[in-house]
C-alpha cells in the first residue's frame, strides 16, 4: 500500500509519573521468589526491562487519551474543526460500550461530522488506526485524522502479582506463562495525520504492509475482556513460541515491506520495532538484517506498553533527535494473533509534545540469555 498525500503532522505523548522498577516488582513477588528459590534480578536480566510506568489507581484510559490527543492537536498546524476521523485504538478502554473514542471526541471538542470509533488489535491497534486514517486522507474523504490510545498496566501487574503469590502449586516451569505480564507498562500516545497540503513540511507516510499468521492466535491471550480501569485480567503467554513465531512473521513481513517500499536495507536510516524486550529486539533486527545501532528503543525504562509502545518510541526518538530530517524510518510492528504491520516514513518535521524526561534514561538494552529454569 502506497501513500502520496499523507503527512505525520504531530505526535502527542503522556506518561504516568509513577515508576515501578523491576526490583520493586520482585520485592512484591518475594513470597513466590522464596518458594521457588528464584534469584533477585532475574526479571530485568531476562527482559532488559528495568522500569515501567503505572497510572494512578482508577485512571480511565480516556482521561490520558484526551491529554495526549490535546498535546498532538496543540503541537500541530491545524484546528480541531479540521479533524474528520478519531480512532481510539488501545487494548484498554473505558467500557465495553460506548466506544472510548466517544468520550475522547467530546473531551477534545472535535466536530460533530467526525468519524468516531474504537479499533482493537493487541499491540498493533494504533498502527491499524494510522493506516485507516491515511487511507481516508489519500481517498479524499477527510483532510486530517487522529488516532490515540492509552494502555493501563496497573491492574494486570497487581492481579498477576497477587495470583503468583497466592498459588502454592506453581513451579519454575508453570510460572513461565505469567512472565510477560510482569513486563507491561503504561502510557498514552496520539498521532495526528493530515493531507500534505495542510502540513507541507511534515514527515511523510509512504508505505504500509500487513502480514497475518493467525495459526498462532493462541500463544498470548487474556482470560477476561480488558475493558475498564477496574479490570482484573490475567494473561497466559507462551513466551518462547510467541518469540519464535513473532520473529518469523516479522521477517516475512519485512521482505514484503522491502519490495513494496522499494527501499534496500541500507537506506533505512532508523528503525523502530515493537518494544517487547532485549532478546526480541536482538532477534528481530538480526532476522531483518538491520543494525542495532540504528534502532530506537524505550522498553528498558517504559516496559512493553502494548499498542502505544511503537508510537511512543517513535515520538521519543524524534524528541531526543535520534530521528532527524531527511531520514528513512521503518516502523516494524508485531502483535499477538500473530499479525505484523510495517510502515515506511520519510522523516522531515513532525512536532512532538509530551512529558518525556529531558534526557533519555540510560539502561542496558540487550537482555542476557537467561531463563527461569
pLDDT, tens only, 264-311: 999 999 999 999 888 889 999 999 999 999 999 999 999 999 999 999
Q: What is the DSSP string of 91-147?
A: S-BS-SSS-HHHHHHHHHT--TTSEEEE--BTBTHHHHHHHHHHHHHHHTS-SEEEE
**Cis peptide before 37, with omega less than 30 degrees from 0?**
no
The three three-digit cell numbers of residue 236, written as one number: 497466559
What does the radius of gyration of the chain's CA atoms come to, in whole angstroms?
Answer: 20
User: Which residue(s) pair with 5 in the sheet?
Assistant: none
DSSP annotation of 29 reads T
pLDDT > 90: percent of the chain: 77
d(CA 211, CA 228): 30
What mean pLDDT is predicted for residues 229-242? 56
Contacts (Cβ under 8 Å, ≥6 apart) of 146:
69, 72, 73, 83, 85, 86, 87, 108, 110, 133, 190, 191, 192, 193
Is the Cβ–Cβ distance between 51 and 360 less than 8 Å?
no
Is the Cβ–Cβ distance between 212 and 337 less than 8 Å?
yes
Higher pLDDT, 118 or 251: 118
Question: Of the candidates 219, 204, 191, 222, which has an alpha carbon nearest to the alpha carbon of residue 127?
Answer: 191
What mean pLDDT is predicted for residues 200-212? 95
d(CA 17, CA 209): 35
Is the Cβ–Cβ distance between 149 and 118 less than 8 Å?
no
Known catalytic residues are 97, 123
Residue 200 CA: distances (Å) to CA of 8, 77, 79, 193: 10, 10, 16, 12
Query: Structural domain boundaries of the chain?
Result: 1-367
Q: Tell me if residue 259 falls in helix, strand or coil.
A: helix
Q: At what angle do helices 61-75 and 100-108 cross, to 10 degrees?
A: 40
d(CA 75, CA 221): 36
Residue 177: pLDDT band by 50, 70, 90 thresholds?
confident
What mean pLDDT is predicted for residues 123-151? 97
How much is the mean pLDDT over the chain? Answer: 90
DSSP annotation of 164 reads H
Q: At what angle do helices 309-319 and 125-139 cross, to 10 degrees?
A: 80
Is the Cβ–Cβ distance between 40 and 21 less than 8 Å?
no
The three three-digit cell numbers of residue 333, written as one number: 510492528
User: Which residue(s) pair with 147 in the sheet?
Assistant: 87, 191
d(CA 142, CA 7): 13
- Tell me which fold the domain 1-367 belongs to: Peroxisomal Thiolase; Chain A, domain 1 (3.40.47)
Is the Cβ–Cβ distance between 319 and 353 less than 8 Å?
no
Is the Cβ–Cβ distance between 157 and 108 less than 8 Å?
no
The three three-digit cell numbers of residue 71, written as one number: 498535546
- pLDDT one-digit tens code per residue, 29-56: 999 999 999 999 989 998 999 999 999 9
Question: Of the candidates 275, 286, 270, which has an alpha carbon nearest to the alpha carbon of residue 330?
Answer: 270
d(CA 212, CA 280): 19
Q: Beta-carbon neighbour count of residue 352 at 10 Å?
A: 20
Q: Tell me if residue 298 falls in helix, strand or coil.
A: coil
pLDDT of residue 368: 44
Torsion of CA 10, 209, 110, 66, to 10 degrees: -60
Residue 179: pLDDT band by 50, 70, 90 thresholds?
confident
User: Which residue(s) pair with 190 in the sheet?
Assistant: 12, 148
User: Which residue(s) pair with 295 in the sheet?
Assistant: 271
Say yes or no to pLDDT of 372 above 50: no
What mean pLDDT is predicted for residues 134-146? 98
Higher pLDDT, 175 or 264: 264
Amino acid at each position: 500500500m502506497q501513500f502520496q498525500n499523507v503527512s505525520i503532522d504531530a505526535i502527542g505523548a503522556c506518561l504516568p509519573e509513577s515508576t515501578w522498577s523491576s526490583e520493586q516488582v520482585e520485592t512484591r513477588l518475594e513470597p513466590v521468589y522464596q518458594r521457588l528459590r528464584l534469584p533477585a534480578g532475574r526479571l530485568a536480566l531476562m527482559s532488559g526491562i528495568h522500569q515501567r510506568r503505572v497510572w494512578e489507581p482508577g485512571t480511565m484510559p480516556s482521561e490520558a487519551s484526551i491529554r495526549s490527543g490535546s498535546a498532538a492537536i496543540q503541537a500541530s498546524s491545524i484546528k480541531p474543526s479540521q479533524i474528520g476521523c478519531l480512532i481510539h485504538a488501545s487494548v484498554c478502554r473505558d467500557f465495553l460500550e460506548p466506544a472510548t473514542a466517544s468520550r475522547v471526541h467530546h473531551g477534545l471538542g472535535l466536530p460533530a461530522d467526525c468519524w468516531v470509533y474504537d479499533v482493537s488489535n493487541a499491540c498493533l491497534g494504533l498502527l491499524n488506526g494510522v493506516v485507516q486514517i491515511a487511507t481516508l486522507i489519500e481517498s479524499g474523504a477527510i483532510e486530517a485524522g487522529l488516532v490515540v490510545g492509552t494502555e493501563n498496566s496497573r491492574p494486570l501487574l497487581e492481579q498477576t502479582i497477587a495470583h503468583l503469590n497466592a498459588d502454592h502449586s506453581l513451579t519454575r516451569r508453570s510460572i513461565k506463562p505469567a512472565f510477560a505480564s510482569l513486563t507491561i507498562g503504561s502510557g498514552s500516545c496520539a498521532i495526528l495525520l493530515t493531507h500534505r497540503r495542510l502540513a507541507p513540511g511534515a514527515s511523510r507516510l509512504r508505505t504500509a504492509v500487513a502480514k497475518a499468521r493467525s495459526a498462532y492466535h493462541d500463544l498470548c491471550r487474556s482470560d477476561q475482556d480488558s475493558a475498564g480501569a477496574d479490570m482484573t485480567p490475567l494473561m497466559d503467554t507462551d513466551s518462547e513460541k510467541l518469540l519464535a513465531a513473532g520473529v518469523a512473521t516479522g521477517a516475512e513481513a519485512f521482505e514484503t515491506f522491502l519490495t513494496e517500499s522499494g527501499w534496500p536495507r541500507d537506506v533505512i536510516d532508523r528503525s523502530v520495532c515493537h518494544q517487547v524486550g532485549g532478546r526480541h529486539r536482538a532477534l528481530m533486527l538480526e532476522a531483518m538484517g538491520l543494525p542495532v545501532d540504528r534502532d530506537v528503543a524505550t522498553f528498558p525504562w517504559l516496559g512493553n506498553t502494548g499498542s502505544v509502545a511503537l508510537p511512543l518510541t517513535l515520538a521519543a526518538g524524534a524528541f531526543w533527535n535520534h530521528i532527524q530530517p531527511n531520514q528513512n524510518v521503518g516502523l516494524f510492528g508485531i502483535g499477538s494473533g500473530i499479525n505484523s504491520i510495517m510502515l515506511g516514513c520519510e522523516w522531515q518535521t513532525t512536532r512532538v509534545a509530551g512529558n518525556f524526561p529531558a534526557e533519555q534514561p540510560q539502561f542496558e538494552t540487550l537482555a542476557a540469555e537467561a531463563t527461569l529454569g
